[in-house]
Structure 1
Amino acid sequence: MADEYFLLVCDDVPHDVVLTDSGVRVMDVVQVVRRLTELSLWHSKVLAAQVPGRVMDVVQVVRRLTGLSLWHSKVLAAQVPAVILAGVPQEDATAAVSALRGVGARAEEREQPEPGFLEH
């Protein structure tokens, strides 16, 4: 028995939230700062901590959006591109994308195709 899908007029087309880039990695910034300024490792880390869009900020947002553990959120944020939320309404997808962009990540909202759109 095949599954049958019906799209009702009142249904919102489900959306996915895709994380395409998790932002600046602190150790990359530290290495550049050390090379350019010849500061110590400690001073370079202090300067790099001020850079917006750090990966840990993205991990915290992913954790808040998905309810995953800190470890799973970190793994998910490191594997870009990654689908953070799947099959959510457009309002929730838009809010999630803006939260991710607010901490310096690149994210996009994608409309899910209708089931069986390849079958003809």
Structure 2
Amino acid sequence: MTDEYILLVCDDTPHDVLLTDPGAHVMDVVQVVRRLTGLSLWRSKVLVTRVPAVVLAHVPEEDATAAVSALRDAGAHAETREQREPDFRKH
């Protein structure tokens, strides 16, 4: 019996939004994080102060780009990271 692995290739690779620095206007960034994630004000502030932090995980590229743009408009440093595909061929 042989092992078979199927690799699904999708056009839309999931992305993460990574906050690397809140910048000078921390409360503005907290408000943006709160709006993006739906977290409470307190949890959003905790997330912003513990950088680097993943604000959004496994989102489409368009959503990730829009989130990074909103964070940058608030004065933060943020970036998107493409999720690596798992290598199922390793044993």
Could you state the TM-score of these two structures normalised by the residue count of structure 1? Answer: 0.67
Residue of structure 2 equivalent to 1:99: 70
Q: Which has the higher helix share?
A: 1
CA RMSD of aligned residues (A): 2.0
- The structure where strand makes up a greater share of residues is 2
For residues 1-120 of structure 1, the aligned pairs below 5 Å read 6-9=7-10, 11-24=11-24, 54-116=25-87, 119=90
Q: Identity of paired residues, percent? A: 71
Task: Say if 1:5 and 1:115, in contact at 8 Å, map to a contact too.
Answer: no
- Structure 2 regions of 5+ residues with no counterpart? none
In structure 2, the residue corresponding to 1:119 is in which secondary structure?
coil
Structure 1, unaligned runs of 5 or more: 25-53
Query: What number of residue pairs does the alignment pair up?
Result: 87
| Alpha-carbon separation, structure 2, partners of 1:109 and 1:118 | 27
Q: Aligned in 2, Cα 1:117/1:61: closer, same or farther, shift over 3 Å?
A: farther
Which one has the largest radius of gyration? 1
- Call closer, same or farther: CA 1:96–1:115 in 2, change over 3 Å: same
- The one-letter code matched in structure 1 to 2:60 is P
TM value normalised by structure 2: 0.87
Report the alpha carbon displacement of residue 115 of structure 1 after superposing the two structures with TM.
Answer: 1.7
Task: Please report how far the alpha carbon of residue 78 of structure 1 lies from its aligned counterpart in structure 2 after TM superposition.
Answer: 0.3
Secondary structure of 1:104 counterpart: coil
Structure 1: 4+ residue segments shifted above 3 A: 117-120
Q: How many Å apart are 1:119 and its aligned residue? A: 3.3
